Amino acid sequence: MILVGLLLAVLAFVAIIIVLNGKGTTEQTKRTVSVLVAKNDIAIGDSVTPDLVEVKEVDADAVVPTRISDPSLLTGRPALFAVVKGQQVTQEAAGISTTISNINIEGQLQPGEKAIAFQVDRVTGLDFLLQPGDHIDIVLAEDVQPVQETQDSIAARKTDPKLQPRYELVNGLNNVRTVKTILQDRRILYVSATRIRGVATEAASPTPNQGGQQNQAQFEVVVIVFAGTDQDAELIKFAQNNLGEQGALTAILRDTQDPDHEVVTTGITLDQLIKLYGVPLPNVVVLPTQSPAP
């Protein structure tokens, strides 16, 4: 009986070892996760396509929270962050993240770039369909009070051309509209709200509202942050010096692969409309006076 008991105890011990080893193998197998890593360095602005990455199995503890497991999820969006060879490609870096948490503006800046913000409404912001990674031009529209050099200044500078000219408002003219593209090919770093994410969410799980239409993001003002220079910041500040001002600056979406980075424009004033586009200048119409009734 003692021998039988010892034999059963040995068998039970062996069975426990086998079970524990099996669990250890299963746990070890589950600790690897599929991620995408860069085949070569990916620079900010490069189109992130499936051919730039490869699938790799890594330890679960080393997986970033916003990993990408399938190359087919890459849409060719411009890279928002630089990715070095062998590094995991995240949703944020590939420009396909649907959340705006953990925003890293500084990480998107290239040497010499500064982050600059301006405000747009529904029309000047392309119905809020802009998103990080897009490239834009910025158009300024302002009402400018016409000025002219004073007669005293003209006479004085004939004698001494080094004198600083003096100007005065032109009587009889109200503010005159002028429009000009002031910045071109600037990369968006951040948008405070965008309907792109709302549209993506609705497409995944449509929820009709009481009117039978899908719910859409409702906001009237959006802040756009783009990469520029200190000179750009001065220009934007001068053009939109009032925090509540809307309509002065318009964002124009452009192709990120557009080779023509700088386009020379004439700007638009009433004079340009008449000379370049043939807009007729209205004549003053004098209505005949009616003779008094007898």
What is the residue extent of each domain of the chain?
28-94, 107-205+215-277
Strands (E), the chain: 32-38, 53-59, 114-120, 135-144, 147-149, 167-169, 176-191, 222-228, 249-254
Q: Is the model more confident about 287 or about 24?
A: 287
DSSP letter, residue 242: S
Q: Which residues pair with 223 in a beta bridge?
A: 119
pLDDT single digits (tens) 140-167: 998 888 888 898 989 998 888 888 999 8
For 79, the token pair is 């890279």
Confidence (pLDDT) at 92: 86
Question: Do 30 and 60 touch, CB atoms closer than 8 A?
Answer: yes
Measured CA to CA, the distance from residue 182 to residue 267 in angstroms comes to 9
Residue-wise pLDDT for 181-232, tens only, equals 999 999 999 998 888 765 444 444 444 444 444 445 567 889 999 999 999 9
Phi and psi at 29, nearest 5°, equal -65, -40
Look at the alpha carbons of 90, 87, 79, 189 in this order and tell me if their dihedral is positive or negative.
positive
Query: Which of 134-172 are b and which e, b meaning 16 or more Cβ less than 10 Å from the residue's Cβ?
Result: bbbbbbbeeeeeeeeeeeebeeeeeeeeeeeeeeeeeee
293 half-sphere exposure, CB direction, 13 A CA radius: 0
Rg (CA), the chain: 32
* Nearest of 46, 133, 132, 134 to residue 83 by alpha carbon: 46
Select from 105, 144, 167 the least CA-distant residue to 269.
144
Which CATH class, in words, describes the domain spanning 28-94?
alpha beta
Determine contact, residues 253/196, Cβ cutoff 8 Å. Answer: no
Could you give the C-alpha distances from 201 to 102, 188, 195, 197, in angstroms and in order?
19, 22, 10, 6
Q: What does the block give as tokens for 68? A: 């990408």
Nearest CA among 112, 124, 88, 91 for reference residue 221? 124
Selected residue with higher pLDDT from 217 and 283: 283
Q: Tell me the C-alpha distance between 42 and 284, whole Å.
A: 63
CA dist 103 and 170 (Å) reads 49
Token pair listed for 286: 């004098």
Helix, strand and coil content of the chain, in percent to the nearest 5, comes to 30, 25, 45
Q: What confidence tens digit (pLDDT) does each residue in 74-117 have?
A: 988 888 889 999 999 998 888 887 665 567 888 899 999 999 99
pLDDT of residue 231: 96
| Residue 127: closest CA among 31, 233, 217, 258 | 217
Average pLDDT over residues 229-244: 87
Burial of 126 (0-12, 13-18, 19+ CB in 10 A): middle
pLDDT computed for residue 171 by the predictor? 80
Q: What average pLDDT does this structure show over 252-264? A: 81
pLDDT confidence of residue 210? 47
Q: Which pLDDT score is estimated for 187? A: 93
Q: Which tokens hold the place of 40?
A: 């070569």
